[in-house]
Amino acid sequence: MPVRDAEATKARIFEAATAEFAAYGIAGARVDRIAQHAHANKQLIYAYFGDKETLFYKVLEKQLVEIAASVSTEITDLDKWVDEHIDYHRDHPELLRLLMWEELEVPKERACRHDARAANYQRKKDNIAEAQGKGLVRGDMPAAVILMFLLGMVNSVSSMQRARGLVLGEDFDAEELRYWMKDAVRRIAARAGDDADPDGR
């Protein structure tokens, strides 16, 4: 009898569950389909992860760990910050979809605790506050508000593909949009009197 590789099985389940939840959300996802695509026993999924919502949060947690490891929280180089976020979400569109499904389907009072997620956001706020202390970022706006605006901008450009096409047109150049995103981010975070457009465009 072949020996079961539990870690390999869990990895296949995570991969299949990520695609399933990103496409259908929690309510629409089917454990049968996850098991089929993962080449795993359905009962094994329940044994490893419990119910479907628990599996969803395990998948989301893994996605958040991966972006935290891949995208810098350093805010002093705003162009790099924008590039890394746009590139990551282009290559991993499932993360923003999972976050939107969570927002739509899970009432706040039933949501799992997110200590690790909160800690990651705190690191980002701390980095902005540090940059403010060095005079690199405007100091008149709270660090948390700056972070919220910046995340909202890069996430909306990455997630609202249909609206982007309708507003800008399907042939709008992605690199030009990236240019204007960087310009807007610099203007939001710039100190009073700074030239927010160093290219002079």
pLDDT tens, position by position, 37-58: 999 889 989 988 888 999 999 9
- The better pLDDT of the pair 138, 193 is held by 138
Return the pLDDT at 195.
53
Residues 6+ apart with CB under 8 A from 201: 179, 183
String of DSSP letters for 71-115: S----SSHHHHHHHHHHHHHH-THHHHHHHHHHHHS-GGGSPP-H
Return the pLDDT at 1.
39
d(CA 183, CA 201): 10
The answer regarding whether domain 71-189 maps to CATH 1.10.357.10 reads: yes
Return the pLDDT at 197.
52
What is this structure's pTM?
0.81
29-38, 93-102, 182-191: which has the minimum mean pLDDT?
A: 182-191
Q: What is the pLDDT of residues 24-35, one digit of tens each?
A: 999 999 999 999
17-21, 146-150, 168-172: which has the minimum mean pLDDT?
A: 168-172
Split at pLDDT 50, 70, 90, the class of 15 is: very high
Split at pLDDT 50, 70, 90, the class of 193 is: low
Return the pLDDT at 2.
47
- Percent of all residues in the chain with a pLDDT value above 90, rounded to a whole number: 44
- Domain boundary assignment for the chain: 1-51, 71-189
Place of tokens 């479907």: 52
Fold match flag (1-51 vs 71-189): no
CATH for 1-51 (1.10.10.60, 1.10.3720.10, 2.60.120.10, 3.40.50.150) = 1.10.10.60
Nearest to 71 by CA among 155, 146, 142: 155
Nearest to 37 by CA among 61, 3, 14, 6: 14
